[in-house]
Amino acid sequence: MCLAVPGRVLEIAERDGTRMAVVDFGGVVKDVCLEYLPDLEVGEYAIVHVGFALQRLDEESARRTLALFEELGLLQEEFGDPWEAAAASAASAASPGQEEER
């Protein structure tokens, strides 16, 4: 399922001529394109769908929505388990040809 999820803007930068942000979705941090909301600022919330910020959202509504999504398990469904992602990232960073000791 693809959800539009509220997130809080942590950083904004220009990348290859495109306004991009680092956005926190209740603990999961992703890169997001801000071209549809060029005046969005650090600390504000937006609804994000498939990597694009689509609509500004007030903090209370964003927090309520994130809490509800988390309660229903939709954040994990949308973003995966952050611990699994961290473990996979750590495993891929290991040197090629090295095997784990068992």
pLDDT in tens, 50-83: 999 999 999 999 989 888 877 877 666 555 555 4
> Each residue of 6-33: pLDDT tens digit?
999 999 999 999 999 999 987 889 999 9
Instruction: Render the chain in DSSP notation, one character per residue.
Output: ----EEEEEEEEEEETTEEEEEEEETTEEEEEE-TTSTT--TT-EEEEETTEEEEEE-HHHHHHHHHHHHHHTHHHHHH--HHHHHHHHHHHHSPTT-----
The reported pLDDT for the residue numbered 1 is 46
Domain coordinates of the chain in residue numbers?
5-93
The average pLDDT across 83-89 equals 51
The reported pLDDT for the residue numbered 13 is 97
Does pLDDT of 95 surpass 70? no
Does pLDDT of 41 surpass 50? yes
- The owner of tokens 């220009």 is 14
Does the reported pTM lie above 0.75?
Answer: no
- The CATH-assigned architecture of domain 5-93 is Roll (2.30)
Residue 21: beta bridge partners? 12, 32
The reported pLDDT for the residue numbered 91 is 58
Does pLDDT of 84 surpass 70? no
Q: CA-CA distance, 26 to 45, in Å (whole number)?
A: 11
